Structure 1
């Protein structure tokens, strides 16, 4: 793993908006699904996944869900339930209530908070399965009060219509209400615009390949989306008290995700830098996803040696990483200085996978430096807010002239007259003594 100074370091990463051919393919798929509905979904499923289905087979049955429990180990079911409890407990603390505030003049201002009615969750399938992503997408929506949570996931490739049983168990435990065996851009189009079998949703969440990401971007506006996720990122801020083996293992935990994943150590300790560099190479030797992790470390990994921890913190804030681990002697002393990070892990035992799977905070976190202005998924992603205004006569009489002045300044006479007609009516209704006729 290369060791560089702060002055030498430069991480050039671009958001992947796909090739022109990929974008055109996605637009064609979405157009076909909008025009043909289920027929297009089935055609693309056979073409891309090699699975021939009937429209009746799109939806996973209750019997399949029950059967999935027989195919997984009881220890997995227990682990999923414990993780789900932790995730639910964490997100319950984020709940907010509608509020109303009566003013002295009899006016009422407030905010009504309601859950979205129907949310679609995309879960990658095929060669890999991610039950943890099911929990992280579904449970916040459930806690927010969303009554209909729909999951789409590709069927197994190679002619098999089955879905990974671990994913199905996670979906059942999390509270998914409908599951469809469809993936790719066609699944995103079906969720956004609806088909005969799949009703449209209000929001689409969940990670996927480049075609899924481009499709989500394409349908945004017809529905809401969570984000366009980029490759995984981790930055470790450490001093010379850190354990080099721990640091190296945590860097590789993210490097193994993707060849474009970014794993960076920032430290004022030259000794730690050298030890971590050697430890990364040692741990790579028998890592099952060695080729992926090696490519990530080579292209997007670095150890940045800084003069002080304060300089390291400035670099961290500039990187705005998805995951930040602080492995210093007193990590709590530094956390208040961190302005940009999706999730912050404090201390030697708060390894990033603790957050990925079990602790409770959501593992769907902003990437590509977007932690500068965005946040991890939480229940706010699944609610909507309506402002409420009840203006009393007293308030309108007192403030009407001011409102009209602002409207006329913007050249909107119709706005001003909507107020004026009420003021004139009240004036007519009052006699010369100031009493109503």
Structure 2
């Protein structure tokens, strides 16, 4: 069902590399298909989007107007929710908004200062004009992804939020539309896949081109985002979801088993790994996995995920567990230990760190507040969760005084001549010794 590894074993490094290997997003057939779709949408616009939506989502729409979901329908979806479900969605939206508002304050805005020559130097921060958020909608519906993408954009002050979400067979999920209403999406289109990414990047007769595309999707969406980068901005290239749990053996084994399930149920390529120094506890978790699996609605997906990419790994101690976690750089890292706080400083690479046995990864997915759009496939070594900063850009400010131009101009002239760029040098020299 799930492989078992020993970090002290002679072949552990090779086994870990094999476990972490993920090449699906580089599949040549996917790349070729995406290349053709992007070019077709860029050339034919709405007509191409409609054709691919009919083919891939089995949605027979005669025009793009049928695929745009208006504010009336979104508000109707919000009001149609059972009271308890609506309250939960509203509370999640508020917590996510508040977290990102505090994030914006902590990151700071623009700044400036004057040096001794009276030069003003600084930074101006402005929000993006228009962003596109991609909300997955194939194997499941993700209202949480609506909130996690739209709320930081809203906090940042983005002018327009264009949302796209596939609706296979024309099924529109009311929770997704309700979340869009709460999050203030400007326009929503029932389209997905590479064609939706192309429409957002290049613009069509109906879908406006955006400055940046955020949000996860399948391998086709990831390949499309990679290809349109440069025409528009992107947040990251997301791979399958991952969870890594470090446990000291004190947490209820069924809690840990369900935490591993929580990622494995996303899709067959998701990854769930447990690190623990207690061999007997690992067997208890293995037994809990077998015991709980038959009752899971997505048991087939979970079983395949655990068999292909899951692992229970015995480590020497918690220090070695942290070392291995830093090598993996997981999307989600749970420190399910009695003194979890002592391990936080030992973690250098992780998308999100869940501290203590009560901090289940699922709380971060839905309502705790921090963003659930996280770096995957080891990219937490150099990238960060989606944030307010992803929806802002920074412009440098340089206001140079006459006195400042004298000293700086001579420095620039010398350096420009050294680089063989005489026009640069002359540009600076022409401002030397000029009387106001």
Matched ranges for 1:189-208 at <5 A: 189-208=198-217
Q: Which residue of 1 aligns with 2:364?
A: 355
Q: Which residue of 1 aligns with 2:340?
A: 331
Flag structure 2 segments of 5+ consecutive residues without an equivalent: none
Q: Which residue of 2 aligns with 1:235?
A: 244
Deviation at 1:15, TM superposition (A): 4.1
Q: Which residue of 2 aligns with 1:39?
A: 47
Deviation at 1:398, TM superposition (A): 2.2
Contact kept? 1:127, 1:156, Cα under 8 Å: no
Equivalent-residue separation in structure 1 for 2:294 and 2:119 (angstroms): 70
Equivalent-residue separation in structure 2 for 1:207 and 1:75 (angstroms): 28
Q: Pairwise CA RMSD of aligned residues?
A: 1.6
Say yes or no: does 1:23 pair with 2:35. Answer: no
Say yes or no: does 1:113 pair with 2:122. Answer: no
SS in 2 for 1:337: coil
Contact kept? 1:59, 1:180, Cα under 8 Å: yes
Residue in structure 1 matching 2:59, options 51, 61, 84 = 51
Q: Which residue of 2 aligns with 1:366?
A: 375
SS in 2 for 1:253: helix
SS in 2 for 1:17: helix
Matched ranges for 1:89-104 at <5 A: 89-95=98-104, 96-104=108-116
SS in 1 for 2:396: strand
Deviation at 1:156, TM superposition (A): 3.6
Deviation at 1:104, TM superposition (A): 2.4
TM-score, normalised via structure 2 length: 0.94
Using a 3 Å threshold, how does the CA distance of structure 1 residues 323 and 126 change in structure 2: closer, same or farther? closer
Residue in structure 1 matching 2:141, options 106, 122, 129 = 129
Contact kept? 1:15, 1:230, Cα under 8 Å: no
Using a 3 Å threshold, how does the CA distance of structure 1 residues 270 and 107 change in structure 2: closer, same or farther? same
Flag structure 1 segments of 5+ consecutive residues without an equivalent: 430-435
Note the alpha carbon deviations across 1:255-274, whole angstroms, 9 max, x for none: 11121111111111122112
Using a 3 Å threshold, how does the CA distance of structure 1 residues 308 and 126 change in structure 2: closer, same or farther? closer
Say yes or no: does 1:377 pair with 2:390. Answer: no
Contact kept? 2:334, 2:361, Cα under 8 Å: yes
Say yes or no: does 1:285 pair with 2:294. Answer: yes
Contact kept? 2:132, 2:210, Cα under 8 Å: yes
**Number of aligned pairs?**
424
SS in 1 for 2:103: coil
